[in-house]
Structure 1
């Protein structure tokens, strides 16, 4: 292709001293960032295990009792509220805003880590991916002085992205997912895309090596999003697509509704000019703190409601959902339709509230919601549990992240050897959910514009 005017060719860009130095920094940063990320997720996983399993057993319960989430979420709200209102960076960005945004500065990293360690182990219905990315970005920027960042403004986003991919290199089950996410989220092309993705790939590969090595050496678990066992999908047939498309539409509707609830909650807690109801008055820090605590308690109510409705452990509805998703995929027959629908309803409402008020990532719970809806639709004539699960996984990621390629790759990584046969269904479900989500958001925006006109 001919070189565009004013834009250096890829070869000239890659061979400049500055870019080679950037790759070297990315490689050097990848190891310490991944070590920090490994320590964070291992600690979070151990705290989660102690709070939800070891402590109830020590108190004489064979599992977490139905009322267990209520005091835990109250404590989570009381602890995270001052972090959000007083610490630099406000504990990280509000989860309903997604995973993007400007690079996190180093002075905000302590607040991000504290907020995540307060929220995630105590049962907040969010995942670890957003705090990990923020932590990786901030730690990576520590390698560059503020004066150099000011002199080279393009350095911060690239190095921040490299730190983020190193931090989440295996939390999605494959370092490739993080790299594809950066490609798709960047929205770039040509030399600019290659210039961004090479540091990310390098840092991600080093990060995956560190995660794997330290996992074997220490014996610690990081609770990555993975499915050790999945129901067989088989080669897709017309019945799979006949039902897979409406399943994807339904998953998108539920996930986008949860995000809309999250925007309303954000308007309530901190003020959200982009919320479904239009601009909201900005509350005082004291009001934000009180409302954050109330939202945390509301999340606890949804988890308790799930336990009372289904008679199952509240732990299945609490937390990010990766362990529940693994159990669901391994033995879908042990879940009744009522339990699955209860999980979808309570998880979606709790997730929506947490999205607009607490701290964590938006993707992991959404994937569980999509997987549960897919399994619940499995008995439909001509579908099956395996294809239903596959469609739900791909659809939920595309609807929430608005990154259909990343969502397809993530679903592929989760399904493992079953993904080859399910690939056509994954692609159709991801595209269907993405289009459905965009249509719903467009309809919301038009209604908001009509009300404010």
Structure 2
């Protein structure tokens, strides 16, 4: 029963990774044109306030045109779409990917994960049912979702954790490992393809924690819940900001205005608060001890507001990568206020708390927090620190709305 699923899983895994790498490559090349070549040719500072405001507003106009005029209108309102979900019609995929790539290149504070997963699910579901009708539609959805998560994070472990969390509440026959066998093959193929072609890394260069003590445990228990409270602020504001933008009723009003606001926030917070956030997190962590507490507080608040605005006004993208930057800035702020706290403990715990608040994905939050520290000894601290943080976020509003614009809990 399991062996016939191996070939489809391998094919979906490699294809999902190539889709992710292709969109990432195109958006990064276009980003160089927009943020390096073009301002240099015009004699304008690359990250001057004027250029950031102009570029983000122009990105809002471009994405607004895609959402307004392109076939499929880039899919449903992203505020009501989580990580994965029901398959979209394949005709929506080109406009969804175009809107996502424009936002990534233009500096919008959203990541690639939601649109890429949605696109891969749509294509795998559509093509898979034609190629192998004996495999149920839900299986193609699971393969595409797992493959893309494996490709995004460069390891199938993240996909296994997310799948186990999702499947634990679903009835089904067979053991859990039988049910995730084919998705894990797809995730492994996607992760290996990404590793071979792009060599991704979540190591942001923090000094390793070799021998955690009671002080490290206390710091993690304080920072993770505090960061969760900070992240929840965006979740509580989300319905109101989304409603304010929806009152404009047209993508050519919502998105350009959202781009203008993001440009103003970028001018306030600096270039590190632009884009999806992973490379900016590495740049932030490269200067541990070199940032003042005021600078770090500004970075965390501005990035949180940028994520809130970008997710509310209709830009297509995911929340995970910006949330990682927010958590890193919050953790470094805690370390700047209390220098005795180890940087790896501060950053990993804060990222864990912000991700728990903004995604409600417990396993993926633990995985990313541990991966950033690149220190196995952090895992035990994070497991304990996740417990009070989860008590704070569970049952609270999520950074996702239902189709009526009301907060999900």
User: TM-score, normalized by length of structure 2?
Assistant: 0.87
Aligned partners of 1:77 and 1:293 also within 8 Å: yes
In the aligned structure 2, how far is the partner of 1:392 from the partner of 1:114? 33
Deviations 1:324-371 (A, max 9, x none): 111222321222212111100100111111112211001111111111
Trace 1:71-82 onto structure 2 (pairs within 5 A).
Answer: 71-82=54-65
Contact kept, 8 Å, 1:106 with 1:142, in 2: the verdict is: yes
Number of matched pairs: 394
Q: SS in structure 1 opposite 2:377?
A: helix
1:328 counterpart = 2:328 = no
Q: Does structure 1 conserve the Cα–Cα contact (< 8 Å) formed by 2:320 and 2:355?
A: yes
Which sits farther off after the overlay, 361-370 or 46-55?
A: 46-55
Q: Distance in 1 between matches of 2:208 and 2:36?
A: 31
Partner of 1:243: 219
Change (3 A) 1:209 1:342: same
Q: 1:38 to 1:83 in 2, by over 3 A?
A: same
Match of 1:187 in 2: 168
User: Compared with structure 1, are the counterparts of its residues 263 and 23 closer, same or farther at alpha carbon in structure 2 (3 Å cutoff)?
Assistant: farther
Return the match for 1:399 from 331, 351, 357: 357
Question: Residue 53 of structure 1 contacts residue 64 of structure 1 at CA under 8 Å; is this kept in 2?
Answer: no
CA distance in 1, matches of 2:61, 2:167: 36
2:243 paired with 1:267 = yes
The answer to whether the 8 A contact 1:306-1:346 is kept is yes
| Higher radius of gyration, 1 or 2 | 1
**Once the two structures are superposed, what CA deviation does each residue of 1:270-317 show, in whole Å capped at 9, x if it has no partner?**
4xxxxxxxxxxxx68x5343123212221221111113xxxxxx2x11
Q: Which residue of 2 aligns with 1:367?
A: 324
**Does the 8 Å CA contact 1:91/1:113 hold for their aligned counterparts?**
no
Residue equivalent to 1:451: none
1:69 alignment partner, SS class: helix
| Paired position in structure 2 for 1:438 | 394
Matched, 1:253 2:217: no
- Distance in 1 of aligned mates of 2:290 and 2:32: 23
Paired position in structure 2 for 1:158: 139
> Residues 194 and 268 from structure 1, CA distance in 2 versus in 1: closer, same or farther, beyond 3 angstroms?
farther
Partner of 1:44: 27
Asked if the contact 1:171–1:225 (Cα under 8 Å) also holds between the matched residues in 2, the reply is no
**Gap change, CA 1:158 and 1:320, over 3 Å in 2:** same
For residue 106 of structure 2, the aligned residue among 122, 147, 156 is: 122
User: In 2, Cα distance between the equivalents of 1:233 and 1:92?
Assistant: 44
What is the root-mean-square deviation of aligned Cα atoms in Å? Answer: 2.8
* Structure 1 length-normalised TM: 0.79
- Flag the 1:264–1:172 CA change in 2: closer, same or farther, 3 A: farther
Structure 1: distance between partners of 2:241 and 2:164: 31
Among candidates 258, 261, 265, match of residue 295 of structure 1:
258
Residue 204, structure 1, aligned to residue 187, structure 2: yes
Query: What is the SS of the residue equivalent to 2:56?
Result: helix
Would the aligned equivalents of 1:26 and 1:162 in 2 still touch at CA under 8 Å?
A: yes
Mark the CA change 1:212 to 1:242 in structure 2 (over 3 Å): closer, same or farther: closer
Structure 2: where are the runs of 5+ without partners? 402-409
2:209 maps to 1:233:
yes
SS of equivalent to 1:300: helix
Counterpart-to-counterpart distance in 2, 1:125 and 1:296: 10
Whether the aligned pair in 2 keeps the contact of 1:92 and 1:112 (CA below 8 Å) is: no
Q: Is 1:34 aligned with 2:10?
A: no
Q: Does 1:178 align with 2:141?
A: no
Alignment match of 2:342 (pick from 363, 381, 384): 384
Match of 2:404 in 1: none
Say if 2:206 and 2:343, in contact at 8 Å, map to a contact too: no
Alignment of 1:306-317 (within 5 A): 306-307=269-270, 314=271, 316-317=272-273
Q: Deviations over 1:185-235 (max 9, x none)?
A: 33346727435422221111111222233337xxxxxxx562241123343
